[in-house]
Amino acid sequence: MRKTALLNSDISAVISRMGHTDMLAIGDCGLPIPDETNRIDIALIKNIPGFLQTLEAVLLELQVEEILLASETKEVSPELYKKILEVIGNVKVTWISHEELKDNLKKCKAVVRTGEQTPYANIILKSGVVF
């Protein structure tokens, strides 16, 4: 059995294959995921698991140097935005439109679909290095 906190084998496998600047997305249950992008669907019921819970779990294993957020997140879901900043700490934030975020999903190694139902609860994590 795994000793680290992240137990989801699909998420852990993607993270273990990621290199510098590779991208992983975490999204709400309504985020349209391109057919060509690996979908890791962990949605169970409304808001379970939540976006922030999932982000926190992923950050236990993934070194992140930058995040991509839709500018709509800050405007439409300001409380979520504040919590995202608390969770990610001192990481570069790049603002893009929601349409650009959806376009970037094609470049992601995977998209983790949560049960979250907060508008614009979507993020792209850009992998950093640990050295």
For the chain, 131 residues long, the average pLDDT of each consecutive 10-residue run is 83 96 98 98 98 97 97 96 96 98 98 98 97 90
d(CA 91, CA 67): 7
pTM of the model: 0.96
Catalytic residue among 17, 20, 92, 106: 20
The secondary structure of residue 106, as a DSSP letter, is G
Q: Is 41 annotated in some ligand binding site?
A: no
Q: Which fold has domain 9-127?
A: RbsD-like fold (3.40.1650)
Most distant CA pair in the chain, distance: 42
Rounded to 10 deg, the angle between the 9-17 and 51-59 helix axes is 50
Distance of CA 10 to the CA centre of its chain: 14
Q: How far apart are CA 55 and CA 50, in angstroms?
A: 9
Instruction: Dig out the tokens for 22 from the structure.
Output: 């590779």
Residue 120 annotated as lining a ligand binding site: yes
pLDDT at 4: 80
- Is 55 an active-site residue? no
Q: Which residues pair with 94 in a beta bridge?
A: 68
Please check if 98 is assigned to a binding site: yes
Do the annotations mark residue 28 as ligand-binding?
A: yes
